[in-house]
Structure 1
Amino acid sequence: MSTSESASELLQAQAQIWNHIFSFISSSALRCAVELDIPDVLYKHGKPMHLSDLSAELSLVDPSKVTFLPNLIRFLVHSGLLNQHDDDCYSLTPASRFLVKNEPLNLRSLLVFTHDPFIQKAWFELGNWYKNDFPTTFHTAHEKSFWDYIVEEPRLGDTFNGLMASESRLIVTVLITECRHIFEGLTSLVDVGGGTGTVATAIAKAFPAIKCTVLDLPHVIENLKSSTGNLEFVGGNMFENIPTANAILLKWIMHDWNDEDCVKILKKCKESIPSRDKGGKLIIIDIVLEDPKNTTEYARAQHNMDIMMLVCFAAKERTKKEWENLFNEAGFSECKITSIPGSRSLIEVYP
C-alpha cells in the first residue's frame, strides 16, 4: 500500500474488497427469501405488512428462527428488494415483484437455475479453466458441455426452458410495443432457437400476415403445438439448415457461441434470406456491451452476463465493434444498432 494513501482511503478500499468477496451473499439471501415465500406472502397481503404478521405467515417450524428473521429482512431492505415503512412494516419493491410466482415476467427460474449446484460447481473452476485445455469452465467441472448436461438432466432442461420463456415474455412486450417497425412489410420470419415459441407466438398473433416458424432442436419442440394458424414448429439444427424467410430472428443466441461458430450461424442465416432490395434482413436481440466504466444497473447486468457466458460456453457478450466484425466476416453489408429499454439492443443486419 502506498504511504501517500490516507487511512480513510485504505478503509474505503478494504470495504470495496469486502463487498466483492461477500457479493455471493446478495443472491443467497435472495434465494432464501424465495424459498421462504416472502415475496408471495407480501404480494398476497397487498399492502405494507408488519414483521410479526409476516413471520406468522412463513410457518417457520422452529420458533427460535423467528428471532433471526430481522437479519434477513434488514439485508433485503438494504439491497433495495424490500421497502421499509413506519411501524416495522414492509412491502415489495418493483425489483422484488419479479420474484412473485404469479408474476408472468418473474425471474424465479433464473435464480433457481444459477444457484443450482451444477452451475455453482462450474464457477469454482474458472481459475483452473484458464490454466487447462478444457473447452469451457463448465466442461472442467463436469467433463461434458452445458448442452449435453441439460439434455441428460430433464429437470435442469425444464428449468432452463422456463427461464428462457420468462425472459422471452418480457422482451416480446418491448418488441411489439416499442419496435413494431421491424416487422412491417414482412411476410415470413424464422425464430432460430425459439424454444417454446413464446416470442414467435406473440409476433404471429400481433402480425397475422407474417408466417412465423420456430426452429429448434427436435427434443426441444417435439411436444409443442401452434396456437395460431400462421405459426409452425420445425425441428432442426441452425448449423446445418435454416428455413428460408424474409427475416430471421436471433434472440440471445449469439452470446452462447464463440466467434467462429457465430460466423457459421450468420452465414447460414444469410443463405436463408433474400437480398436487401427484396426485403431480406436479420434481426438480433442481444447485448451490446457498454464501456466497463459505466456503473449503471443495465451495464452491470451486461457485464455479469458476459462472465456467465464465459463460464458456461467459453463465449461472450460483444461490443459494437465486435458485432460489426462478425457481420463483415459473414458477408453482411450493413448493420443498424438501436438501444431498447433494458440491457439489450435491437440489431438489424442486411445482406
Structure 2
Amino acid sequence: MAAQTQTIQVPNDAELMQAQADLWRHSLYYLTSMGLRCAVELGIPTTIHGLGGAATVPDLMAALSLPENKLPFFRRLMRVLATARVFASADGGETERFRLTPLSRILVDGVVADEHHSQRCFVLGTTSRHYVDAAFALSEWFKKDLASPVPSPFEDLHGARLFDESTPLLDPELDATVNEGLAAHDNLGIGTLFRECRDLFKGVRSLTDCCGRHGATARAIVKAYPHIKCTVLDLPRLVDHAPRDGVVNYVAGDAFQCTIPPAQAVMLKLVLHHLSDDDCVKILAQCKKAIPSRKEGGKLIVIDILVEPSLGPVMFEAQLMMDMLMMVNTRGRQRNENDWHDLFMTAGFSDYKIVKKLGARAVFEVYL
C-alpha cells in the first residue's frame, strides 16, 4: 500500500512574510540577551548615569575607553538595546543621545539609596555559560528517563544544584554572582511593598524571615517598623556573613530540618518558586508550627510570583520566562492561584487571602 502524501496548509503571502520575521525574532532573541549582558559588563548604564543621564555614542566610547574603530559596531549595539527599551534614544544621527529607562536605571551600579538594588548580577547570572549550557541541553534532558525527584537540566548537566553547597564547588564565581543577583532581585520593590500593603505588618510584633539570606528585607522592615522584632533564618554559609549590629537577630539552620524561630508572623519571600511542590509543602508545614492561630494574630506571609494572563501579554510572558528559568535551573516552578491554594491546604493551613498584586508578584496572607 502506497504511503499517503502529507499535505500542509501554505500561509498566504502576508502570513509567510510575517512568519519569517517572527522566526527571526524568536530564533535571535538570545542576541538581545547577550547585548544586555555586554552592556552590563561594559558598564554602559552606570556610565550614562555618570554622564548626567544622557550621552552620545562618542561620549560613551570615550568614557568607556573603547577603541575608535569600534564606533560603528557600538552604535549598532545601542540601536538594538534602544529598540528593546533597555535605553531610550532621541534626535538620531550623529547627535543621537541615549538615556536611561526604568529598566537600565536598575542596572546602575554604585548608587547608595534605600530602594536601589542594582540588578547587574541578576543579568550576569541568568546569561552565564552555566545557565545557557543547561538550556542548550534541554532536548536531551527531555529524552532521558530520569528517576524522581527529577533533577533540573542544570543539575543533570553540571552535577550541582543552584543555591546549594555544591554550587561553589562547580564554580565559586558563579555561586557568588548568583547569590548577589538573587539578593538584589528579591529586595527590588521592597519600598513598593511597604507603600502598597500598609496593613501587612500592622499589629505584627515579631517576624521570622525564613530563608531571608543576609537579612536585607528584614532590616528594611525594621527600619520601616521599628517595633517589629525580626529574626532571619537561613543556612550557616549565608547568615555567618551577615552584619551583627543588633538590628536583626540571625539564626543559622536548614528550614527543612530545624525548628523555625516562633513569631507572630513568618515570611517566605520569593523562596517557594525555587522548590518542587513536595519541598514547598515540607517548608510550609515547618512554618505552620512557628506561628499562632489567626485568632491570636498569627499569619504566614508569602510573597511570590502569581501567574495570571490577565496582567497583559508582556507581564504574562515575563512570568512564563521566569517559569522556564525555574524549570531549566531548579526543581521549582511558577504557580497560578489554584496551585498556591493546593499547596497551602496540603500543608495544613485553613485559609488564605491575596493582600495585593504587585506586578508579576502577589502578597499572600496564610492562616491556621
TM-score, length-scaled by structure 2: 0.89
How many pairs does the alignment contain?
347
* Pick aligned residue for 2:300 from 282, 286, 291: 282
Question: Greater shift after overlay, 294-303 or 198-207?
Answer: 294-303
* Pick aligned residue for 1:299 from 302, 316, 335: 316
Instruction: Note if 1:25 corresponds to 2:31.
Output: yes
Instruction: Note if 1:90 corresponds to 2:98.
Output: yes
SS of match in other structure, 2:233:
strand
Instruction: Give unmatched runs, 5+ long, in structure 1.
Output: none
Instruction: Note if 1:58 corresponds to 2:64.
Output: yes
Aligned to 2:72: 67
CA contact (8 A) 1:190 1:247 kept: yes
* Pick aligned residue for 1:35 from 41, 44, 58: 41
CA contact (8 A) 2:122 2:185 kept: no
Instruction: Note if 1:48 corresponds to 2:60.
Output: no
Return the offset for 1:313: 1.5
Q: Percent identity?
A: 38
CA distance in 1: counterparts of 2:231 and 2:64, whole angstroms: 45
Aligned to 1:9: 15
* Pick aligned residue for 1:186 from 204, 224, 239: 204
SS of match in other structure, 2:189:
helix
Return the offset for 1:225: 2.6
With over 3 angstroms needed to count, the CA separation of the structure-2 counterparts of 1:173 and 1:227, relative to structure 1, is: farther
Aligned to 1:264: 282
Query: Superposition RMSD on alpha carbons, in Å?
Result: 1.8
Letter aligned with residue 38 of structure 2: C
Instruction: Note if 1:122 corresponds to 2:134.
Output: yes
SS of match in other structure, 1:180:
coil
CA contact (8 A) 1:98 1:105 kept: yes
Aligned to 1:343: 360
User: CA-to-partner distance for each residue in 1:14-63, whole Å, 9 max, x for gaps?
Assistant: 221221111101110111122222212211111432222222222124x3
CA distance in 1: counterparts of 2:34 and 2:274, whole angstroms: 25
CA distance in 2: counterparts of 1:135 and 1:220, whole angstroms: 24
Relative to its length, the structure with more helix (as a share) is: 1
Question: Greater shift after overlay, 317-326 or 123-132?
Answer: 123-132
Aligned to 2:194: 176
Letter aligned with residue 121 of structure 1: D
User: CA-to-partner distance for each residue in 1:153-194, whole Å, 9 max, x for gaps?
Assistant: 443332222112222432321222221211111121110110
Question: Greater shift after overlay, 248-257 or 218-227?
Answer: 218-227
CA contact (8 A) 2:160 2:167 kept: no
Aligned to 1:333: 350
The runs of 4+ residues in structure 1 deviating greater than 6 Å are none
Aligned to 1:207: 225
CA distance in 1: counterparts of 2:323 and 2:348, whole angstroms: 26
Aligned to 1:135: 151
